[in-house]
Amino acid sequence: MAVYTQVGDEDLDGFLRDYDIGTLTSFSGIAEGVENSNFLVRTTAGSWILTLYEKRVNPDDLPFFLELMRHLSGRGLSCPTPVAGRDGITLRQLNGRPAAMVTFLEGVWPRRIAPEHCRSLGTALARLHLSGGGFGRTRINALSLDAWRPLLASCQLEDREIYIGLFNELNVELRWLEAHWPRSLPHGVIHADLFPDNVFFLGHDVSGIIDFYFACNDFLAYDLAVCLNAWCFENDGSFNVTKARLLVSAYQAVRPLDEAECSALPALCRGAAIRFLLTRLYDWLNHPPGALVRPKDPMEYLKKLRAHQQVRGAGAYGL
Amino acid sequence: MAVYTQVGDEDLDGFLRDYDIGTLTSFSGIAEGVENSNFLVRTTAGSWILTLYEKRVNPDDLPFFLELMRHLSGRGLSCPTPVAGRDGITLRQLNGRPAAMVTFLEGVWPRRIAPEHCRSLGTALARLHLSGGGFGRTRINALSLDAWRPLLASCQLEDREIYIGLFNELNVELRWLEAHWPRSLPHGVIHADLFPDNVFFLGHDVSGIIDFYFACNDFLAYDLAVCLNAWCFENDGSFNVTKARLLVSAYQAVRPLDEAECSALPALCRGAAIRFLLTRLYDWLNHPPGALVRPKDPMEYLKKLRAHQQVRGAGAYGL
């Protein structure tokens, strides 16, 4: 949790002068941000979120992300909508950082996942996938199959005695994934990071989806695999097939999976597990002491990977 | 900047059930907090601030602080007003911490102080002092004259070669303050920590005063001395007498200082400087590596102290 770049009242006053969204009445840094600095900005006209993009976001990707949010909200999806300045430009600069103002969404993200959350998530995810149709830009998934082996190498596990076992296990898994990763499935724009803290709910109904800063073009069913990993495991490591069934069946009620997607699901879940395992592992091994953000536990995703390795078919996910 | 205690959606839902302030629509941790964990809570009925009191606040003091805010806002001062639960109780528990819900105030705190801010601050401070009249509870100032020598000792400067000079300088200053500290001046409830980040403005007008967690009973003019230190020095260390004059004259227009207060002002400013110098010094020398909050520079207040030592009368402050 952190705000990396400080913003003063005069900075913000000046920044808001380029917009037609009223005058500043209040603002505060949002403690929950991890990658970027976020501020809740209140004006005489309403509430907005100001994001300053920090080092981990490639500025070249920002037009993709902002245009995508605009496209999706234009299709009726509840997600932050970038607000343009008076000159029509959404991507601006503040305190030396790329910055954008987006609409504020009501809702809270669930700390404890109820089965009903998964049902509503499935519907929202399928709608997101359908709404992404016709979006004019593309961005490759920089954290998919081709990235995993270099990512594993960058962790330098083989140089450290205690990590040799883990290195060998992941090496074998990567070989399996390289052999079994689907070649062709329905694809389109995916969120690629749809963890509970990126989905707002009012009651058990999704009220909005945020944080599109990993969005990219990839197999649509891969997004479902990310969600199965992030939403359907209990804290004790067990897989809750009731949640999975609700998630997948609500998804299918809006966008049915084809046969190839169903049979690819176990491999997609293994891939989604190794993707988060590897980035967490890298952050775990490389986070500077005294960093504002505590790295997430990579081993959680090793356990999930091992669970998916036992799966013999999509039936394990309630299909 | 930090949120020390995490609060989940279900925790908060349950907590709000004891209030009559609508149902939860959004909440986020506020990055700017230093001592306590603060959350901006939005419900169907409006916006509120939820504070969880952390270790540095003595729970026994909380009734004083909460009752004071209620008293002051009842007298028309714009400050957070504690909201009682359905049972009439304001001081509650959440996630193992004492917790209170207070009203949300509009306004932003100024990063760059304009003279006009000081004028409006002077008026607000005098009103705060008058509004404190008749408040039934008392709390001694635990960070006044009697506390400074033990605080200096706890810094253990004399054990470290490089701090011997500083130790001697502060020792001499404490001896001076012990000899010159006023015995009797108009007293009452003071804020005692009225730094710019505790005063909200809309334009150049004070819209609210927050953070009463150092409030206590002491000389009223001591509060003015805290403000002269915190608001009237420029970043280059120079004292801006125009700001001081606006602050003090606006104060006097509401509550005139008597002769004893005027002549005590230089000593009060030295005392206010050493109070923040010593607590910052202690935090500087004792903050754990990797702490979420970066300690403030104590030397800023050594420079202010030295400036006040040169002063020969209240005229230096624009009186």
User: What pLDDT, in 10s, does the model give residues A153-168?
Assistant: 999 988 888 899 999 9
- The pair of three-digit structure tokens given for residue A79, joined into one six-digit string: 């997600």
Instruction: Provide the pLDDT for residue A80.
Output: 97
- Does any CB of chain B come closer than 8 Å to the CB of residue A235? no
Task: Assess whether pLDDT exceeds 90 at residue B187.
Answer: yes
| Cα of B107 to nearest chain A Cα, Å | 5
Cβ separation of A2 and B3 shorter than 8 Å?
Answer: no
Nearest Cβ partner of B9 from A24, A111, A290?
A111
**Taking CB atoms and an 8 Å cut-off, how many pairs form between chains A and B?**
86
Phi-psi label, residue A211: left if phi above 0, alpha if psi -120 to 50, beta otherwise? left
ipTM of the modeled complex? 0.77
User: What pLDDT, in 10s, does the model give residues B124-134?
Assistant: 999 999 999 99
Task: Assess whether pLDDT exceeds 60 at residue B303.
Answer: yes
- Does any CB of chain A come closer than 8 Å to the CB of residue B45? no
Closest CA to B21 of B33, B13, B32: B13
Are A137 and A64 in contact by the 8 Å Cβ rule? The answer is yes
Instruction: Provide the pLDDT for residue B291.
Output: 63
Task: Assess whether pLDDT exceeds 60 at residue B1.
Answer: no
For residue A69, the 8-state DSSP code is H
| Cα of A8 to nearest chain B Cα, Å | 6
User: What pLDDT, in 10s, does the model give residues B197-221?
Assistant: 999 999 999 999 999 999 999 999 9
Are B247 and B121 in contact by the 8 Å Cβ rule? The answer is yes
- The pair of three-digit structure tokens given for residue A221, joined into one six-digit string: 């069913």
- Does any CB of chain A come closer than 8 Å to the CB of residue B253? no
Nearest Cβ partner of B31 from A11, A30, A42?
A30
Cβ separation of A40 and B40 shorter than 8 Å?
Answer: yes
- Does any CB of chain A come closer than 8 Å to the CB of residue B44? no
Instruction: Provide the pLDDT for residue A228.
Output: 98
pLDDT, averaged across chain A: 94
| Cα of B9 to nearest chain A Cα, Å | 6
- Does any CB of chain B come closer than 8 Å to the CB of residue A140? no
Low-confidence ranges of chain A (pLDDT < 50): 1
Buried b (16+ CB within 10 A) or exposed e, A64-86: bbbbbbbbbbebebbbbbbbbbe
Choose from A1, A34, A37, A108 for mutation: most chain B CBs within 10 A.
A108
Chain B residues lying within 8 Å of A105, measured CB to CB: 26
Instruction: Provide the pLDDT for residue B286.
Output: 86
Nearest Cβ partner of A31 from B31, B104, B109?
B31
CA dihedral B203, B193, A41, B94 (to 10 degrees): -150
Instruction: Provide the pLDDT for residue B175.
Output: 98
Cβ separation of B30 and A25 shorter than 8 Å?
Answer: no
Nearest Cβ partner of A9 from B2, B24, B108?
B108
Chain A residues lying within 8 Å of B201, measured CB to CB: 9
Model pTM above 0.95: no
Instruction: Provide the pLDDT for residue A1.
Output: 41
In sequence order, which residues have a C-beta less than 8 Å from that of residue A164 and are 6 or more positions away? A157, A158
| Cα of A63 to nearest chain B Cα, Å | 27
Q: Which residue has the tokens 């990579």?
A: A298
| Cα of A36 to nearest chain B Cα, Å | 13
Rounded to an integer, the average pLDDT of B292-310 is 89
Give DSSP secondary structure letters for B184-234. ---EEEE-S---GGGEEEETTEEEEE---TT-EEEEHHHHHHHHHHHHSB-
Rounded to an integer, the average pLDDT of B212-233 is 98
- Does any CB of chain A come closer than 8 Å to the CB of residue B178? no
B73, containing H or E segment? helix B62-74
Are B210 and B200 in contact by the 8 Å Cβ rule? The answer is yes
Instruction: Provide the pLDDT for residue A291.
Output: 63
Cβ separation of A40 and B42 shorter than 8 Å?
Answer: no
Q: Rounded to the nearest 5°, which phi and psi values hold at B238?
A: -80, 150
- Does any CB of chain B come closer than 8 Å to the CB of residue A83? no
In residues, how long is chain A? 319
Task: Assess whether pLDDT exceeds 50 at residue B188.
Answer: yes
